[in-house]
Amino acid sequence: MGFSLTDADRAFAEWVEVRAAELASSGSPQAPPGRVDRGLLRRLAGAGLLSALFPGAAGADGPPREAPATRICLLRERLARVDTHAETALALQGLGTYPILQSGTDEQRRRWIPAAASGTAVAAFALTEPGAGSDAAALALAASPHGDGWRLHGEKTWISNAPDADFYTVFARTTPDTRSRGVTAFLVPADRPGLSGTPLEMLSPHALGHLVLDGVPVGPDDVIGSPDQGFPVAMRTLDLFRPSVGAFAVGMADAALAAARAHTRDRHAFGGPLDRLQTVSHTLAEMATRTEAARLLVYSAAQEYDSGGDAVTVRSAMAKLFATETAQYVVDAAVQLHGARALERGHLLEHLYREVRAPRVYEGASEVQRQIIARHF
């Protein structure tokens, strides 16, 4: 299956590139590494980039609704080419909020979607646990019946925007020993008693943290979707966002490829420009071909989602798998072509080398994507 961008999509992509460049050149101060950058979220909203994730959130053209998968991919790819910090802030806000946008009640949407779209409230997607990562159905965080609601007991870890978020989509086990059939999604405001957390120091300084839920009270009004039906809530969000993880990877690969092209053209060795050497030119050709193939898979998956096709899950898995593995190859090859200078702290490729590793793990590791793909053939 191929894909083609409409004139409106191409205009949108060009608009994102202009806004992203303006944002990157603003020189605004950043939050400490590993913490939520609220100023950046407000600037993303002010530039219209964050609000593009939430059409209708301002109330001007109907109720809030999903952005097309193609638009989310264009947002993430074009942002990643210029500023991975801004890209990640936007993506984490979307991931934390979309379960509410897709499956929440009208009241939940009214309360949180406009605040998330304006950057005044920070969202988090709390699925992973110390003992449940790739095997997401093995969740152990317990929702124990209490009155007409539940109390949440357990831990979550490697959670986006924790512990600084204003609200969390928390997935908890309401029925023991039922794997994915006994999980419920809850909307948990950060000020609920019993909820605490600490930031984690990661390879790349993203806002990730560990959460402890010690009897956190939740009620029927906090359920996202239906009791015991939280796993489909999570999977619906991940099916939409997995192609866009691939788009993020394609954006990083594009940035690394551009840097490698410029360096090998300008750098002279062995009597001429580096790119005149066959081994170098062939490496650049391989980098460019893999990047373009990844882009085709990403937008094919996005188009499958937008058209309501029945192959969304497998195409999303293919897109995420191939694009993230490709980006790892392309960034590594660009570092090799640059040599030691690319490993100096502050170099673009040193930054990308740290950034590119995580997407092969989160939202389903590469091995999990292969398993999903294998089940469909």
Say what the pLDDT of residue 34 is: 80
Q: Which of 49-63, 136-150, 223-237, 326-340 has the lowest mean pLDDT?
A: 49-63
Helix pair 69-82, 84-103: axis angle to 10 deg: 160
What is the DSSP-derived secondary structure letter of residue 164? T
Q: What is the pLDDT of residues 202-245, one digit of tens each?
A: 888 889 999 999 999 999 999 999 999 999 999 999 888 989 99
Print burial letters for 308-341: b (CB count within 10 Å at least 16), e (below 16). eeeebbbbbbbbbbbbbbbbbbbbbbbbebbeee
pLDDT at 1 over 90: no
What is the distance between the alpha carbons of residues 179 and 353, in angstroms, rounded to a whole number? Answer: 36
pLDDT at 29: 67
Q: Which residues are catalytic?
A: 363
The C-alpha angle 137, 138, 143, rounded to 5 degrees, equals 95
In order of 21, 38, 89, 126, the CA distances from 31 in angstroms are 20, 8, 12, 22
181/58 Cα distance (integer angstroms):
35
Q: What is the reported pLDDT for 375?
A: 93
The domains of the chain, with CATH numbers, are 7-122 (1.10.540.10), 125-230 (2.40.110.10), 232-375 (1.20.140.10)
Q: Phi first, then psi: give them for residue 157, nearest 5 degrees.
A: -145, 160
Closest CA to 109 of 149, 68, 167, 150: 167
Reply yes or no on whether the pLDDT at 3 is more than 70: no
pLDDT tens digits along 153-190? 999 999 999 999 999 999 999 999 888 889 999 999 99
For residue 148, pLDDT beyond 50: yes
